[in-house]
Amino acid sequence: MKAIVCTIPSDSHSWNLVFMSLFLQDHGYDVVNLGACTPISSILQEIYRNRPDLILVSTVNGHGYIEGVDIAKKLKSNNATKNIKLVIGGKVGVSGDENIKHLEVLVNSGFDGVFIENSSSDGLNEFILFLESIGKEINVA
C-alpha cells in the first residue's frame, strides 16, 4: 500500500512527519513524506504522481482544525482524489481536551479518520484500528 504523509501549510514541525513515515514504513507502506508547511498544490501533485491508498495529515501547531478543512474539501471535491482515504491527527487544536469539538467539523469536511490528542488518548491506537479496518493489519510490539 502507498501513503502520502504531509502537514498543513502553516505547520513547520517535521518530527511528527518522520515518526509517522517510519511507523507506516515499518508496517509495509511505501511512503512519500512531503515535509513541513505542505502546500495543498504539492499534495495534489504527489497524489497524481503516486496514486496513494492513504493520505495522512499530521499536525502539531494546533491549526489542523482550520487548515485541515481546506485540504479535505479540496481533495474530496475532486473526482480523481475523492475516494482516497484521508486522515488527520496529532494536535488539531490549541485547547487540550476541547479539541474533541473539532472532530465533527473535520469529519464533516471529508476526513475518513480524525485522531486527536487528548487526556485519554494519543490517537495512535485509534489510528492502528483504522488501518486495520481498511485492510492493512498492523502488529505493534
Q: For domain 2-53+63-133, is the CATH number 3.40.50.280?
A: yes
**Closest among 30, 36, 5 to 127, alpha carbons compared:** 5
Whether the CB-CB separation of 55 and 29 falls below 8 Å is answered with no
User: What is the amino acid identity at position 126?
Assistant: E
- What pLDDT is attached to residue 125? 84
Q: Going residue by residue through the chain (141 aa), what tens digit of pLDDT does each one get?
A: 899 999 999 999 999 999 999 999 987 899 999 999 999 999 999 999 999 999 999 999 988 889 999 999 999 999 999 999 999 998 888 776 666 778 889 999 999 999 886 656 667 888 888 988 887 544 444
Residue at grid coordinates 495522512? 56
- What pLDDT is attached to residue 50? 93
- What pLDDT is attached to residue 137? 47
CA–CA dist 30, 118 (Å, integer): 29
**Angle at which helices 100-109 and 64-76 cross, to 10°:** 20
CA–CA dist 40, 119 (Å, integer): 31
- What pLDDT is attached to residue 133? 87
Q: Could you give the C-alpha distances from 26 to 7, 21, 139, in angstroms and in order?
A: 20, 9, 10
* C-alpha cell of residue 98: 476541547
